Structure 1
Amino acid sequence: MKIDPQMTDVLLAARFLRGRVRHTPTERSDSLSSLSGAEIFLKWENQQICGSFKVRGALNKMFSLSEEDRARGVVTASSGNHAQGVAMAARALSTRAVICVPGVCPQTKQDAIRRLGGDLVELRVLGHFYDDAEAEAHRLQQEQGMTYISSFEDHFIISGAGTLGLEMIMDEPHLDTVIVPAGGGGLINGVAIAVKALSPETEIWGVQSVASNPYVVSWPGGKVLDVSYEDSLADGLTGWIPQSLLDLSRKRVTNFVDVLESDIAKAIAFLHSRHHQVVEGAGAVGVAAIMAGKVPVKGKRVGIVISGGNIDQPRLLEILREYSD
């Protein structure tokens, strides 16, 4: 499957999403700027509707479906944030949806999916990791003829995610580097399309957890390699990647790096104490990369995507007890 959205697709998504999602703020971080020797700007997508960037792509995709596609019902697999956007759109469109999530999906995300979707959404919790949930979603697609919605390998999903990058580079047009969480690859590719179209010299760096780092491992050779998965604070980034999005990323992304689980925890605590923001693990990996010195940023103007804030309160409190300064 070849997927190759262009800037025109991001602009179309931005026009559709205007008034449906928030234009989230991009703000300078004095504390991170001082720490890194760079000028750091944070894109607070944890303040988005549903607490994550995922609503952008989910709404863009769901409203693109034909009446026939919607009539069959939709099915998707998600680590939790994409599912909230699908649930919200399903309710708005009076469309039946089955949402498959893995066992690692935080309870706060599961509760939000049920609340947003109401009676139209059936939530299924399957296996442990994302790939288990996706296998069930594909089974339902094949056996019941439901319309499958990928959480990342999709033209409309990527274009919707790209609107985040469009906002960021319009708000701060002179960025040398943009750092983006990388899971399946929908967000980083969407952001890269928008940023590179308006600022071709800006570098795009992706960040993963060492617990699930298929982009980091696969990047040098250009072919998707198998990696082992472990539980991660960045549960939203855990899972396989498609060759199509690895190929797409090689057009615009500079490099990928990974961070330790302890780095992610420190970043969550840092953002809470210095910025009074609740950020989930996946949303904190860019800051973790800066704090761990994984991306060369000294003397540069750097944007970091804070992709979401949906973290279970018990886990957040545990992190704050251990890592707050």
Structure 2
Amino acid sequence: MERLPVEPTITDVMKASKFLRNRVRRTPAEYSFALSERAGAPVVLKLDNQQICGSFKVRGAFYKMFSLSRETLERGVVTCSSGNHAQGVAKAAAELRAKSWIYVPDVCPETKKTAIRRLGGEWVELVVANGDYDFAEGEARAFAAERGMTFISPFEDSDVIAGQGTAGVEFLADEPDIELLLVPAGGGALLNGTAIAAAALAPKAEVWGVQSEASNPWVVSWGSGKVDGEFTLAPTIADGLSGAIPQSMLSLAKQRVTGIIEVTEREIAAAIAFMHREHHQQVEGAGAVGVAALLAGKAPINGRKTGIIISGGNIDEEKLLSILEEYD
């Protein structure tokens, strides 16, 4: 679809914020002395790697799941996820006692698969697809359609976008004078939700998305404003940002997002190690891309106070230890 049937507004984001206030964690905004020294400007981190389930994704997943009618829940819910959205859906499914089928790509980290099973318990069927995220989503959508169940997109959904935007609301409430926001760009729900929040609460602030060169649909599509299917899709340390983007999310971002920054796999790995060393934070690849952009000198800071959303911390221990051994 070119656009969402109903595009979320700041009113929707604030409603989500009110609903989630006592259901998810209000994560800290932490001043980074180390990054501020590098940037020559104040830098503050929004640590959503400390969120319930280890990622911002629980925000949108919870808001969406709790918006569904009892009848819809009883028919069954299907979703697809690289792992973090799935944990939020699984936790909500158990709380709502709603049977859910969750598809993940074959590259989904073991730590995320284990968490999905634990959180969902008897209410969740985890299906590991034999392919990448886009393949897994196709399988999930087909399964839902065949059985008359509801498919929940992890990003192309107004309620999900509104839920993710609550991270931006919290951040700007704590740091209202932020002038530049660096946000991971995957499916686009966090990027768009944050941009909606910023446009209303900090209208002079620029919002920039960041993604890896290994999966760069935002980068190749941004200039034309039309989704370009000829993008790089390779294995990436930022598995949470991997895969294609729909035109609806690109069109929505074009209304409020200033631009997109591309970082390399090595820059992301270096950022993971930096966050561990300087902030004692466990950060996954997708969560580290904003820091990677700053450390690589790719973020247009120009002396402006900068906010970086650290979106998640669900990284396999073996991968983390390997990165720390190489970059620490």
Same structural fold, with TM-score higher than 0.5 when normalized by the shorter chain: yes
Given candidates 8, 11, 21, the residue that maps to 2:11 is: 8
Query: What is the match of residue 96 of structure 1?
Result: 99
The amino acid that maps onto 2:312 is G
Given candidates 277, 284, 287, the residue that maps to 2:281 is: 277
Please tell me whether residue 83 in structure 1 is matched to residue 86 in structure 2: yes
Determine the C-alpha separation between the residues in 2 that align with 1:294 and 1:5: 30
Per the alignment, in what secondary structure is the counterpart of residue 85 of structure 2? helix
TM-score normalised to the size of structure 1?
Answer: 0.99
Please tell me whether residue 107 in structure 1 is matched to residue 91 in structure 2: no
Query: What is the match of residue 245 of structure 1?
Result: 249
The amino acid that maps onto 1:115 is R
Determine the C-alpha separation between the residues in 2 that align with 1:265 and 1:38: 23
Please tell me whether residue 303 in structure 1 is matched to residue 294 in structure 2: no
Query: What is the match of residue 240 of structure 2?
Result: 236
The amino acid that maps onto 2:184 is P
Query: What is the match of residue 320 of structure 2?
Result: 316
Determine the C-alpha separation between the residues in 1 that align with 2:302 and 2:323: 28
Query: What is the match of residue 184 of structure 2?
Result: 181
Given candidates 252, 264, 268, the residue that maps to 1:264 is: 268
How far the C-alpha of 1:36 sits from its partner, in A, is 1.3
Q: Does structure 1 retain, via aligned residues, the 8 Å contact 2:213–2:232?
A: no
The percent of aligned pairs where both chains have the same amino acid is 59
The amino acid that maps onto 2:242 is T
How far the C-alpha of 1:228 sits from its partner, in A, is 3.0
Q: Give the 5 Å matches for 1:109-148.
A: 109-148=112-151
Please tell me whether residue 58 in structure 1 is matched to residue 74 in structure 2: no
Given candidates 12, 21, 26, the residue that maps to 1:23 is: 26
Determine the C-alpha separation between the residues in 1 that align with 2:228 and 2:41: 34
Determine the C-alpha separation between the residues in 1 that align with 2:323 and 2:132: 22
Please tell me whether residue 157 in structure 1 is matched to residue 164 in structure 2: no
Determine the C-alpha separation between the residues in 1 that align with 2:316 and 2:50: 16
The amino acid that maps onto 1:9 is D
Number of matched residues? 324
Q: For residues 230-278 of structure 1, give each alpha carbon's deviation from its aligned partner in whole angstroms, at most 9, with x where no partner exists.
A: 0000000001101001000000000001100000000000000000000
Determine the C-alpha separation between the residues in 1 that align with 2:91 and 2:248: 28
Determine the C-alpha separation between the residues in 2 that align with 1:291 and 1:49: 28
Determine the C-alpha separation between the residues in 2 that align with 1:55 and 1:122: 18
How far the C-alpha of 1:298 sits from its partner, in A, is 3.1
Determine the C-alpha separation between the residues in 1 that align with 2:188 and 2:19: 22
Higher mean C-alpha deviation, range 223-232 or range 158-167:
223-232
Determine the C-alpha separation between the residues in 2 that align with 1:275 and 1:257: 23
Per the alignment, in what secondary structure is the counterpart of residue 322 of structure 1? helix
How far the C-alpha of 1:128 sits from its partner, in A, is 3.1
How far the C-alpha of 1:127 sits from its partner, in A, is 2.2
Please tell me whether residue 286 in structure 1 is matched to residue 290 in structure 2: yes
Determine the C-alpha separation between the residues in 1 that align with 2:228 and 2:22: 40
What do you get for the CA RMSD once the two structures are aligned?
Answer: 0.7
Determine the C-alpha separation between the residues in 2 that align with 1:81 and 1:127: 19
Per the alignment, in what secondary structure is the counterpart of residue 105 of structure 1? coil
Q: Does structure 1 retain, via aligned residues, the 8 Å contact 2:44–2:308?
A: yes
The amino acid that maps onto 2:39 is S
Determine the C-alpha separation between the residues in 1 that align with 2:232 and 2:255: 26
TM-score normalised to the size of structure 2?
Answer: 0.98
Per the alignment, in what secondary structure is the counterpart of residue 97 of structure 2? coil
The amino acid that maps onto 1:124 is V
How far the C-alpha of 1:169 sits from its partner, in A, is 0.5
Q: Does structure 1 retain, via aligned residues, the 8 Å contact 2:26–2:170?
A: yes
How far the C-alpha of 1:195 sits from its partner, in A, is 1.2
The amino acid that maps onto 1:284 is A
